[in-house]
Every structure is written in structure tokens, then in C-alpha cells.
Amino acid sequence: MTSGADISAQTVREEAARRRTFAVISHPDAGKSTLTEALALHARVIGQAGATHGKAGRRSTVSDWMKMEQDRGISISSAALQFEYRDAVINLLDTPGHADFSEDTYRVLSAVDCAVMLVDAAKGLEVQTMKLFEVCRHRKIPIITVINKWDRPGNDALALMDEVFERTGLTPTPLTWPVGQSGDFRGVLNRADSTYTKFTRTDGGATIAGEETMAAAAAEALEGTAWTDAVEESDLLDLEDQNHDQDAFLAGRTTPVMFASAVLNFGVHKLLDTLVDIAPAAEARLDKNDQPRPVDAPFSGFVFKVQAGMDANHRDRLAYIRVCSGVFERGMVVTHAATGKPFATKYAQQVFGRDREVIDTAFPGDVVGLVNASALRVGDSLYLDEKVEFPEIPTFSPEHFMVIRAKDSSKYKQFRRGIQQLDHEGVVQVLRSDLRGDQAPVLGAVGPMQFEVAEDRMEGEFNAPCRMERLAYTIARRTTPECVPTLARERSVEVLSRSDGELLALFSDRWRLQGVQREHPDLVLEPLVVS
């Protein structure tokens, strides 16, 4: 194993330049997990797509490994897939599709350099897509837009371009343009050189779709008016100067657009090539003081996700680290910025969905899984030699609350361990008070499905069946110890302590909050703002 100290700064810069670290974002059911697996299929790191899309023999996708994900056909936990393609190293972070798990998606977006925004051709830009787009805009993350499901009836392509511009403010600059209306997906016009790539279906989309690229004259002879219509629409885009400009894309003024059908593997190979060709590589990241940490500085990274239950045989816990600078070397002792204590990285792994293998070195842009890193929490920074702390990853304001209790008092130890684990992972927020005691903590969540995940894991992983009781609160506000006595006397109000030390005042509804604010204008009741 080569020592990190033996790797030159030039090599680190070259390796960082090879990395493409991105997330796929969209509204639920737009095809994120299907696209994730199709990308892995086209990179030839898997032999057959996991979703065969037939009723018989249907398999779950590689990135959806939790039982609840497989049962429901949705992604509820982000997954990291790493593989090589051409001369690049791809770190692809799949994200939960359901809005109830948007907090997990937000954490993933803190670790990427680019985002692929997946849009359903029939539904356009939906609510969850726009919420995640705003996060990307705030974080200055460049966005590549993919119009998915073009093999099904949907909207007009030019109308979709208008919608992207009107809703996001980004100028769409299509790299490919569909030949054939939505529902009749024949191939794409490659706008850079005016060639035609014709797609050929495979059985159920389980294997790589056939592609044939030909000149414009051959395309016109083969496709007739479908080709000439595509050329005319592409010419209209030229007149509006909707052509790719790399600087404008990286600056967040434009979004390159591609057309695809992830379920049929149409257009997926071109997306992979586009990510390698134009997506930003790993670069210097800003620390909490807005100072850039050069990629060739000594090792640094931060935890963007903690996940347990991936291996039922070992019950281990995996902390996902985004490497920001320098060389990560398995076994190195780094400093945990939150405590100033040394932290050994003996058990480091590369992740491919649920499957893992030991990794010896990693470079800026890579995602490393640290096993049984019980001291680490989401947002923690790690560094070697030169101290650095990256911006914290703030939590969302919970809107749903439940008291949780163990069904069997003899399993209280398992119950307590499970609650602590879920809290560390950020599956739910755990709130406590002296009045309720440790045996009846309150769980706070962005969406109610988080409670289902918590309940399922408490029983399945920790052997601690529990029962939950909904509380009639819908709003949380940050407060201070000085305000607690006054708030304690108010009806439909309760103050609880979160595990990070924050005091949260819970209110039944916004009218109750407004009433308390009118009666006690000096109280500190601050929104929990995500930034």
C-alpha cells in the first residue's frame, strides 16, 4: 500500500480532476433509482439492471437495499455508488425520492459537485423537484437536466424548455434533441455535430440498448419527417442562442438538457459521457470561515450521512465521508474537529449500494465509508495536520411529532440503543424532557413516513418493538432556557431538548404560536432555518 505521504501534490490534483461526484434529484417516481442503475449498467459495473419492469421476476435496484424500499418500490435512504468510466471516477449519490426524506437528500447535496435534475416528460417540474432545485441554487451546484420517460406520451419538447426557463430562471441548452414525439422515442439529434443516434430496444430494458450513430442525410432517409421536425426545432433553439456554454453552465446561468428513457436505457450512455466531459471535477471547498481548502492540502473531509443496518449479519454502522482535500489512507489517524480527539480509520470501505470492499486510498471527491465510527455524527469534520472545519449541515424543522415507548420493558436497553442509533443517523430528531423521561422520548420528523422507518428498524434491527402516539404539535421554534418557565405555563405548548443541545418549543399550530408571541413579545422563538 502506497503511503499518503508518498503521493505528490501533483498526483492529488490529477486524481481530483478525474472525479465526478454528483447526485440525482427529482420528484418521487420520476425514475431516479432506475437511472442510477442504468448508469451503472452502461459503465459495465453490473451485468443486468435490477428492475426488469415485468411483474414476474421483478428485482429491486442495486441502490434500494432496505426491505421497506424493496417492498414499496421507492427510495427512502440515499445510497452511494462508485465506479470508473472512461478515465474518470464516478461517485454517484442516489437520493430518497419521497418528500418525507428530503432532509436526507439535503445532506447528500452538501457532498456533491453537480446535480442531475430528472424531469418526467409528462409531468414537468414538480413540487419536490423545485424544492431540491432551490437547494442546488443556494449551494451554487451546477445542474444538468434530463427529460426522462420520453418513450411515454408527455409534453411537447419546446414547451418543456419554456417551463424549465420560466420555473428555474436557467436557460436550457439542449445537448440532444428527441427524434420522434414523446411516446415515439426513436433516437436523438446530437446538436454539437448534427448527427443522429438511433436507439434499439432490448428485452425489458434489462441490458444496454443498441445505439447507431449516422450522418444527417442517412437520418433523414431513415426517419423522414420525424428527423426534419427535430432539425427545425433545433434550429429554433439556435436562433434563441440556447447552445451549451461551459462557463455559463458552471456559473449556474444555464442547464444543459438531454432526453432519455432510463427504463429502456435510451440516452443513458450519452449522459455518462456528458458527465465526464462537462460536469465539474472536485475542487477546493470552502470551510466554515469561507476560506477555500485546496485539494492538495493535507487530508480533510466531512460526514454527510450515517447509516446502519446495511449488513444484517454484523449490525454495523457506516459513516459516509466526502473527501475534500489530500489523500485518505486507510489506517491513518486523523483529528475529529468537534472534539479535538484523534480518530483512527482502520475500517474504511468503498461502497456500491449495499456491497462494500476495503479501500486503501481515496482522493478529493471520493466517498469513503468508515465502519463502526460511533463517535461521528452528520456534519462532523475530520482533518490531518492543518485544522479545518467545514460548514455544519443544519437540520430541518420537524412538523410531525410522536411519543415512542418500548412495548416490552425488559428490552429497555435495546430500546435505548435503537433510539440513540436513529438519532445519530438523523433518521428522526429525538427530543426529551425531564417530565417525559428517557423511557418516552419524542420523535420529530419532516414527514410521517420517517416514523414508519423508525418503527420498522426498532423492531427489525434492535429487537425492541415499540408503540407510538401522535402528539398534536405542528410547529417547532428554537428558544432559550430563560424562556422555558413562561412557555411551560402556556397551553398547547411544550419545550423539549434536542440531542444537540437546542431547546425546541412545540406549538399546536401557527395561531397558537402567534398568540403566545402577542402575549409575550420578548420571548425568543426563532425559526429553524435551513441554509
Q: Which residues are known binding-site members for GTP?
A: 94-98
Q: Grid coordinates in use for 246?
A: 461551459
The count of C-alpha atoms lying within 13 angstroms of the C-alpha of 231, restricted to the half-sphere facing its C-beta, is 15
- Of 123, 78, 125, nearest to 98 (Cα)? 78
Binding residues, as ranges, are 94-98
CA–centroid distance for 258 within its chain: 20
Bridge partners of 405? 467
- The string of DSSP letters for 99-155 reads GGGHHHHHHHHTT-SEEEEEEETTTBS-HHHHHHHHHHHHTT--EEEEEE-TTSS--
Radius of gyration of the chain (CA): 25
Residue 66 CB coordination number (10 Å): 21
In whole angstroms, give the CA distance from residue 50 to residue 33.
10
In whole angstroms, give the CA distance from residue 370 to residue 346.
8
Q: Provide the 3-class DSSP secondary structure of residue 321.
A: strand
* b/e 38-49 (16+ beta carbons within 10 angstroms → b): bbbbbbebbeeb
